[in-house]
C-alpha cells in the first residue's frame, strides 16, 4: 500500500522537521511537507532526503489563515494522514481537514487536561489587571480548546519520550491510540577525550527553562580548581536580559583564560551536531516546572525535554536534576544531582575517573543505538501507519 502522508510544521524546530522526514523516508510513503519558507530553506540547505518529498511552503506575505486553508484543500484532495506538529495559532479554528490526522501532543496539560489548564489560567488572571495580558491568556485558552478538539478528532496522538508517555498513561485517561514516535534517529559517534572533560550545556539560555546561574557557579568552581582539565560549551542562543547576563558571565570566564565557548546567535545544525558529538558529558540544569500563561507543565512527566531527543540522536551521557523522570532505556547513562554541592562532587568524580566516564559514554552510545536507530524508528512508523490509515 502507498501511504500519502502530510506533515504540517508551523511552530517547532526545523532540525526536528528534517529528522522526522528521515523517519518518513520510506518506499511506500509519498511525503508532502507543509511549512514556512524559513524551515524549507534550512531543510533544503542541509541535504536532499529523497525525490519523493513535495514541499508546500507558506509564501512571503501569506497569512496563517490563507496558508492553512491552502493546506486543507490539498489534504482533502490527496493526503491519507496529516501529522500535525503544533497547534499554536488562533487560525487553527478555521482549519478542519477531512483527512485522518495524527497529533504531536508534546504538552500534556495543554492537550489532555482541560480542567486543570482552565483553572491554572484563570488563577493567574486573578492577579492581573493588565488588559493585554488578559487578552493573551484568553486567546491562549481559545487555542487550547481547538487543540482539545483536535485530540478528539484525531486518529492517534504521540509524543517523543517513552517516560512522558508512560507517566501520562498512568495518571490520566487518554481515549486514543497513544504512540511514542521519536523523530530523531541515532547518528552518534563514540569519541574519547583523553586530556579534558568536555561538558556541553545545550538549549536556549532562558531563565524559564534552565538554571544557568547554578550551572555557571559550578563551572566557575571547576575552572578555578582544575583549569585546563575541563572544556565547556554553552550550546544555545541567549534569550532576553537573562541570556545576555549569562553570556557576560561566560565571557568573563573566557577573559580569565578558561576554556569556555558560547554563542550569541542561533547555532547552526552542523555546528550543533559537531559539538554534541565531541562532548563527554551533557549537563542539563533544567527547571523541571515550566510555566506559560498560567499553564504548568512538568518536564519529563507531562512534556518532553529536548535533552531526550538529543539523547536519541547523539547517544551521550547526561546529568540532570534529581526529580527528572529518566526513560528506562537510559537509566545506565544518566546521572542525577540533588543540589549544588552534590553536582560539584559528581563532576569532580567524573573528572578524575576516566573509567567511569568511559563506561557512561559506552552505555549511552549503546542505549541510543540499540533503541533509536533509523531502521527501528521506521519499523515503528510502518506499524503505526498500518494501524491507523
Pair 60, 83: CB distance under 8 Å: no
* 163 and 248 share one domain: no
* 366 and 378 share one domain: no
The whole-number pLDDT of residue 134 equals 82
Q: What is the pTM of this model?
A: 0.91
| Domain assignment of residue 107, yes or no | yes
| Domain assignment of residue 102, yes or no | yes
* Residue 102 Cα to chain centre, angstroms: 18
- Whole-number Å distance between alpha carbons of 61 and 73: 19
The whole-number pLDDT of residue 232 equals 97
Burial class (CB in 10 A: 0-12, 13-18, 19+), 13: middle
The whole-number pLDDT of residue 48 equals 54
* 148 and 243 share one domain: no
- Whole-number Å distance between alpha carbons of 182 and 367: 14
| Domain assignment of residue 191, yes or no | no
* 213 and 238 share one domain: yes
| Domain assignment of residue 361, yes or no | yes
Pair 279, 233: CB distance under 8 Å: yes
- Whole-number Å distance between alpha carbons of 334 and 300: 13
Give me the number of domains the chain comprises.
2
The whole-number pLDDT of residue 51 equals 63
The whole-number pLDDT of residue 122 equals 80
* 179 and 217 share one domain: no
The whole-number pLDDT of residue 115 equals 85
* 384 and 259 share one domain: no
| Domain assignment of residue 192, yes or no | no
Which DSSP state fits 190? -
* 235 and 363 share one domain: yes
> pLDDT truncated to tens, each residue of the chain (389 aa)?
899 999 999 875 556 888 898 999 898 999 999 998 888 877 766 555 556 789 999 999 999 999 999 999 999 999 999 999 989 899 999 999 999 999 999 899 899 988 888 888 888 777 777 888 888 888 988 999 999 999 999 999 999 999 999 999 999 999 899 999 998 999 999 988 778 999 999 999 998 889 999 999 999 999 999 988 999 999 999 999 999 999 999 999 999 999 999 999 888 888 999 999 999 999 999 999 987 766 788 999 999 999 999 999 999 999 999 999 999 999 999 999 999 999 999 999 999 998 999 999 999 999 999 999 999 999 999 999 999 99
| Domain assignment of residue 117, yes or no | yes
* 127 and 222 share one domain: no
* 83 and 117 share one domain: yes
* CATH number of the CATH domain containing 326: 3.40.50.2000
* 300 and 172 share one domain: no
| Domain assignment of residue 189, yes or no | no
Q: Where are the beta strands (DSSP E) in the chain?
A: 3-9, 29-35, 53-57, 81-84, 100-104, 156-159, 177-180, 197-202, 230-235, 260-261, 281-283, 289-292, 295-298, 318-321, 334-337
List the domain range (segments joined by +) for residue 285: 197-371
C-alpha cell at 322: 534529581
* 142 and 226 share one domain: no
The whole-number pLDDT of residue 293 equals 64
| Domain assignment of residue 257, yes or no | yes
* 22 and 115 share one domain: yes
The whole-number pLDDT of residue 326 equals 98
Amino acid at each position: 500500500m502507498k501511504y500519502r502522508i502530510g506533515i504540517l510544521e508551523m511552530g517547532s524546530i526545523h532540525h526536528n522537521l528534517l529528522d522526522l522526514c528521515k523517519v518518513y523516508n520510506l518506499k511506500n510513503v509519498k511525503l508532502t511537507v507543509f511549512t514556512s519558507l524559513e524551515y524549507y530553506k534550512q531543510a533544503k540547505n542541509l541535504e536532499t532526503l529523497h525525490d519523493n518529498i513535495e514541499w508546500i511552503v507558506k509564501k512571503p506575505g501569506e497569512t496563517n489563515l490563507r496558508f492553512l486553508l491552502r493546506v486543507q484543500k490539498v489534504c482533502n484532495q490527496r493526503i491519507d494522514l496529516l501529522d500535525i506538529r503544533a497547534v499554536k495559532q488562533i487560525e487553527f479554528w478555521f482549519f478542519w481537514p477531512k483527512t485522518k490526522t495524527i497529533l504531536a501532543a508534546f504538552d500534556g496539560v495543554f492537550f489532555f487536561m482541560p480542567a486543570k489548564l482552565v483553572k491554572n489560567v484563570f488563577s493567574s488572571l486573578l492577579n492581573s489587571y493588565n488588559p493585554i495580558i488578559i487578552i493573551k491568556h484568553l486567546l491562549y485558552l481559545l487555542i487550547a480548546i481547538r487543540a482539545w478538539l483536535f485530540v478528539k478528532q484525531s486518529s492517534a496522538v504521540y509524543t517523543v519520550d517513552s517516560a512522558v508517555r508512560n507517566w501520562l498513561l498512568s495518571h490520566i485517561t487518554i481515549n486514543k491510540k497513544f504512540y511514542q514516535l521519536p523523530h530523531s534517529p541515532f547518528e552518534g559517534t563514540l569519541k574519547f577525550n583523553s586530556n579534558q572533560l568536555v561538558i556541553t550545556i545545550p538549549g536556549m539560555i532562558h531563565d524559564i527553562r534552565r538554571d544557568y546561574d547554578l550551572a555557571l557557579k559550578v563551572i566557575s568552581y571547576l575552572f578555578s580548581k582544575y583549569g585546563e582539565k575541563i572544556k565547556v560549551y554553552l550550546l544555545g542562543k541567549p534569550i532576553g536580559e537573562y541570556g545576555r547576563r549569562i553570556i557576560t558571565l561566560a565571557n568573563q570566564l573566557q577573559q580569565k583564560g578558561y576554556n569556555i565557548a558560547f554563542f550569541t546567535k542561533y547555532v547552526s545544525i552542523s555546528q550543533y551536531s559537531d559539538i554534541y558529538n565531541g562532548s563527554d558529558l551533557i549537563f542539563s540544569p533544567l527547571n523541571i516546572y515550566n510555566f506559560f500563561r498560567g499553564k504548568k507543565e512538568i518536564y519529563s512527566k507531562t512534556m518532553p525535554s529536548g535533552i531526550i531527543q538529543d539523547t536519541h540522536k547523539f547517544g551521550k551521557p547526561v546529568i540532570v536534576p534529581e526529580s527528572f523522570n529518566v526513560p528506562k532505556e537510559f537509566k545506565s547513562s544518566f546521572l542525577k544531582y540533588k543540589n549544588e554541592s552534590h553536582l560539584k562532587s559528581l563532576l569532580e568524580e567524573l573528572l578524575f575517573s576516566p573509567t567511569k566516564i568511559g563506561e557512561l559514554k559506552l552505555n549511552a552510545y549503546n542505549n541510543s543505538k540499540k533503541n533509536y536507530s533509523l531502521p527501528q524508528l521506521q519499523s515503528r512508523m510502518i506499524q503505526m501507519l498500518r494501524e491507523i490509515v
